[in-house]
Amino acid sequence: MNKFEFKNLVKGLKDSLKEKTFFKDLRKEVDTGANGTQDYVVKKGVNKDTIATTKQ
């Protein structure tokens, strides 16, 4: 391995490490079911404002 190949290898590793840290730092956590996306809430009827289940 000559000097040119070694420089390219080091540069590639450095760039990939930098890219991985950017993705790790910029990723946001989300709250599961924050806006009612996890469970369905009944809007009308006798069971209004209750969470619908698949058990019947």
Q: pLDDT, tens digit, for every residue of 1-56?
A: 799 999 999 999 999 998 888 887 777 777 666 665 677 778 888 888 888 776 65
pLDDT of amino acid 44 = 87
Q: Are 21 and 10 in contact (CB under 8 A)?
A: no
pLDDT of amino acid 33 = 66
Q: Are 3 and 10 in contact (CB under 8 A)?
A: no
pLDDT of amino acid 37 = 60
pLDDT of amino acid 7 = 93
Q: Are 52 and 42 in contact (CB under 8 A)?
A: yes
pLDDT of amino acid 3 = 92
The answer to whether the pTM exceeds 0.75 is: no
**CA distance between the termini of the chain:** 68
